[in-house]
Structure 1
């Protein structure tokens, strides 16, 4: 597999911070934001011609709303319009904007593309509503090169809803982790 994928603005290690910044920007654009339920970092294979290239990966970050918030008109309808307007205002290209009829509800996918770095942003409304950010093919980094980026949208850094521990087998860096002596009130929204 000598063919190289298109040049990337990032490596796996350097993609997380700008992708997390895109989610933080999105949160600021949503009125009366209720907060997310969880955050997950993942990676998927980078394939060309049906063959996975182990030297490259797709970085994906997902933030999900709670089941209750996912069912509200604000999250299911108003946020689609707010994000469409926000992303177009940033000069992003909307590459998908489609309602999807389900048996008992209308789901929706809104996808924007950042041409300067190839990042895609998804707002997906289904049983759960979620935000996903994907890097496109980037060179794989050693796990030790990946820095912890604190979550946004109400997720506590290192808390039980910050699902990134597989990237940090020695634990979330101490200066970023949740204070173990915090008051129970600090965790009320996370229970």
Structure 2
């Protein structure tokens, strides 16, 4: 009988110590007020926090009520809330035409100068060539796909032109390639990669 009583006492102690069986006063009081507080339940998104994306350019738009009954002069401002929307604008191309003016003064000709391009007699700026090189070398995109990507975003780039631009960029990157190769060979630990780049 003593052993039975001891076993029963231990079982009750185990139940009381179990976190799943433990009851608190707040849980009991919450159960009685459950119907009243249902509408106050917060949206928790399973504990996940939204990213605020501080890297984005910010544009602030003030939105006023658009109801026909609303009269701003009769209303009292009580507050505002922030509603965030993220917008993606695909790459855009601009054609800049420089009207280079020429003048003559005291039998001497004066002419304005347009900004220089990285490649001689080329219409393509450094940003254009860098965008093409980024797709080709950084994102490992075949040149045909890069040309199609440009076309999909509104610029009909000829494949031959793209090849010439990338070929000339490749020459400029050759010194960096040689410097990297020298640094890798001098290191005592070399790691391999299967990429064709």
Larger radius of gyration: 2
TM-score by length of 2: 0.23
Q: Which has the higher strand share?
A: 1
Q: Which has the higher helix share?
A: 2
